[in-house]
Chains A and B, each alone.
Chain A
């Protein structure tokens, strides 16, 4: 069982989980964007490796989409947005860094425990891939919850989508159409987000979403 193919797949998928934690930990906006770009690049490497060991050439297209779109285009666009908003030097207040990390650890443990008993007839590689993909997904959700800045919330959403692609690459026989439509919807979502960030900024003079709570009747700060 202990083979080279498995070790490299483990390394890449594990690396994605680690980078998700780095996203949670990081408070500087430009650094968050760079970590996200790195995670997308690792994702594309992981998918490409899956394509090699599964002998499924269509996964290479998925890898290419992940690399170009999420490794370079979206981070560059986010960098532009951050520059235009003038928040590129901002250090974000994260709700309790320590508890968030512990919560993240709990989520990873949860996803491992969830995938562990699922079907003994699935191969080791697929199950491990699923466990890691689920934890990347949940960590992306956690990041969306804990962040206040609209831009880093977008990054959380994108990281969540990275987890989805990782999960899909492990499962055999995902049609290419699905992958294309997911990539396309991500792009559309990104454009919508981009427009929204500027609208929020125009309306409320900030992209800190906790300020918006005030208008809903919350406490705000």
Chain B
């Protein structure tokens, strides 16, 4: 019986992240339209888009290989697994033992690898340029992300997300400048990884600035649906990770009573909604960067992460 309850708890989380993903995308688009004084499509529009794509005919290039055909499912699969592992409304679910921060970084890197291969597979110029840019951004963002992981791991003493969240809820961590720095670095990395302004514009098809869109330009039909869905799930994944690492308050921990779970669920939804509203406002406030400025932006994230580790090192080892 206990096993079934545990399984249901984990299953709810797995379904939750996928079910919420298009909604989050819809909210960010709606808020962005409002900030720009437009009306914008309804918040459930991404659901309709994905439904439409799933029923449309698929067009394949003549020279598309099996990589091109399987990549969308691989990308969606690994992103979904990563998103389902991050604690959302409760810690210590059934598969929480495998929810390690480094595993999640690695899963996302695997997805990116598949996407970059698929972008180059058909052999169009756009796909190649998109892939090369994506890998450049990844090679800059990943060290910064790993430094964030180190910071959090040094403070909590583990890289396992559930345990980190529980430690931070306990409030024994105190006031740390390192955590603030790690948060800044994490936000920079999240912006770069999710292809948001100022790194990439998710709504553009202007060839000079495309990164993510350039790689998926050739896709159509259900393949495109998978890729769009993966992008949406990735956004939710980063939101959940931010909430879990830096604002875990409200999450149900040891106490798995219905009330605690309800509080956890509601606070999770609230956190997601706040982030989905803040993201487009921040995006509207800044301008898109030139490609050559990316190293400076992500280098800033790296420096913040490294500084966080240094400061921690000082207060710890002296």
| Residues of A that sit less than 8 Å from B by CB | 2, 4, 6-8, 10-11, 14-15, 17-18, 21, 25, 97-98, 101-102, 104-105, 108-109, 112, 115-116, 124, 127-128, 131-132
Contact = CB atoms under 8 A, between A and B. Distances in A.
21 contacts: A6-B315, A8-B175, A11-B175, A14-B178, A18-B181, A18-B307, A21-B303, A21-B304, A25-B300, A97-B296, A101-B303, A105-B303, A105-B307, A108-B307, A108-B310, A109-B310, A112-B313, A127-B318, A128-B315, A128-B318, A131-B314
A102 B314 CA distance: 19
B175 A112 contact: no
A7 B296 CA distance: 31
Nearest to A10: B315
B61 interface: no
Nearest to A94: B296
A2 B174 contact: yes
Interface string B281-318: 00000000000000110011001101100110111011
Chief secondary structure at chain B's binding surface: helix
Interface residues of B, number: 21
Contact of B174 (A7, A98, A104, A124): A7
Contacts of A15: 177
Please indicate which of the listed interface residues A6, A101, A104 has the most CB atoms of chain B within 10 Å of its own CB: A101
Given A8-B175, A10-B177, A97-B299, A17 B315 contact: no
A10 B311 contact: yes
Please indicate which of the listed interface residues B178, B303, B314 has the most CB atoms of chain A within 10 Å of its own CB: B314
A21 B303 CA distance: 9
B176 interface: yes
B313 A21 contact: no
A7 B179 CA distance: 12
A176 B306 CA distance: 37
A139 to B, nearest CB: 11
B186 to A, nearest CB: 15
Contacts of A10: 175-177, 311, 315
Chief secondary structure at chain A's binding surface: helix
A116 B295 CA distance: 32
Nearest to B311: A14
B18 to A, nearest CB: 38
B314 A132 contact: yes
A18 B300 CA distance: 11
Contacts of B310: 105, 108-109, 112
A102 B295 CA distance: 12
Given A105-B306, A128-B314, A132-B314, A7 B176 contact: yes
Given A6-B315, A98-B295, A116-B318, 14 more contacts: A7-B174, A11-B176, A11-B177, A14-B177, A14-B178, A17-B311, A18-B177, A21-B303, A25-B300, A105-B307, A112-B313, A115-B318, A116-B317, A131-B314
Please indicate which of the listed interface residues B174, B299, B303, B304 has the most CB atoms of chain A within 10 Å of its own CB: B303
Contacts of B299: 97-98, 101
A108 B177 CA distance: 16
A165 to B, nearest CB: 19
A122 B114 CA distance: 54
Contacts of B306: 105
Contacts of A14: 177-178, 311
A38 to B, nearest CB: 15
B303 A104 contact: yes
A123 to B, nearest CB: 10
A162 B310 CA distance: 20
Nearest to A21: B303
Interface string B166-199: 0000000011111001000000000000000000
Nearest to A16: B177
B291 to A, nearest CB: 15
B307 A17 contact: yes
Nearest to A8: B175
Please indicate which of the listed interface residues B177, B295, B299, B300 has the most CB atoms of chain A within 10 Å of its own CB: B177
B296 to A, nearest CB: 5
A101 B300 contact: yes
Contacts of A124: 318
Interface string B138-151: 00000000000000
Interface in B185-221: none
